[in-house]
Amino acid sequence: MTKRQVAPPLLLVTVTLTTFGLAKWHPFSPAAAPAASVAGDPLRGRRVFVVNCSGCHGMDATGGIGPSLRGVGLEPAEVEQIVASGRGVMPAGVVEGQEAADVAAYVAGISQ
């Protein structure tokens, strides 16, 4: 085998494994950052929920593709953590920052 024959598959494997390793490490994960505690507004949170979350959890949060959020007893910090990190098929970071705090306040309210 010559160098030219080996180089492309070797490069393919090396770059693929490097990408895999970086993904396993994911150094800039939002969950790795200390959570900035900001007060959420449930009224604004409802609007954020309708735009970003109702597609899976249903317009009134009674469930759809995603689970119902009513009566499950979530705390705002718990919701913010799930929104930041994702859970199951739910992607991480659907909303961030103030919007995440707002939607956490809304979801925590309706989940009690």
Kindly list the residues in this chain that would bind other proteins in the complex (CB under 8 A): 4, 7-9, 11-16, 19-20, 22-30, 32-34, 36, 51-52, 55-56, 65, 86, 88-89, 91-97, 99
* Distance of alpha carbon 44 from alpha carbon 106, whole angstroms: 8
Which residue number, 63 or 91, has a Cβ lying nearer to other proteins? 91
The residue among 55 and 63 lying less far from other proteins, judged by its C-beta, is 55
Shortest gap between Cβ of 112 and other proteins (angstroms)? 25
Which of 60, 65, 61 shows the shortest CA–CA distance to 90?
65
CB closer to other proteins, 83 vs 110: 83
In the bound complex, what is the minimum distance in angstroms from residue 105's beta carbon to other proteins?
18
- Name the minimum Å distance from CB 11 to other proteins: 5
DSSP string computed for the chain: --HHHHHHHHHHHHHHHHHHHHHHH-TT-GGGSPPP-----HHHHHHHHHHHTHHHH-TTSS-SSSPP-TTS---HHHHHHHHHH-BTTBPTTSS-HHHHHHHHHHHHHHT-
Least distance in angstroms from the C-beta of 78 to other proteins: 18
Nearer to other proteins, 80 or 99 (CB): 99
